[in-house]
């Protein structure tokens, strides 16, 4: 079952409360997304560490309910 955009945002916000999140459904199938996530928590972290935080916030749904997510992280 696909994961809706609002659920993805909710999961990320639970772990990264100050995040501003933009998500686009790339194929219109609720299964392939692109996300831009901005947060102060990313300050002083490299891109790999930033992305790990985002993937951790998805609580194991990546690769299961969430098929594909392209992530761009930015500091606030």
pLDDT at 64: 85
Pick the CATH number of 5-75 from 3.90.950.20, 3.40.640.10, 3.30.300.90, 3.30.70.100: 3.30.300.90
What contacts 67, CB < 8 A, 6 or more positions away? 2, 31, 32
pLDDT at 67: 87
pLDDT at 1: 73
| Mean pLDDT on 3-28 | 96
> pLDDT-based confidence at 72, cuts 50/70/90?
very high
Domain ranges (residues) in the chain: 5-75
Dihedral-angle region of residue 2 (phi above 0 means left; psi in -120 to 50 means alpha; beta otherwise): beta
CB atoms within 10 A of CB 9: 16
* Predicted confidence (pLDDT) per residue in 26-67, tens digit: 998 888 999 999 999 999 999 999 999 999 999 999 888 888
pTM above the 0.85 mark?
yes
Cα gap 31→48, rounded to integer Å = 23
């Amino acid at each position: 079952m696909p994961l809706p955009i609002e659920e993805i945002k909710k999961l990320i916000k639970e772990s990264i409360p100050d995040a501003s999140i933009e998500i686009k459904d790339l194929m219109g199938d609720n299964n392939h997304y692109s996300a831009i996530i901005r947060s102060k928590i990313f300050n002083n972290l490299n891109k790999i560490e930033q992305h790990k935080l985002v993937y951790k916030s998805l609580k194991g749904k990546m690769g299961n309910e969430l098929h594909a997510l392209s992530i761009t992280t930015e500091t606030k």
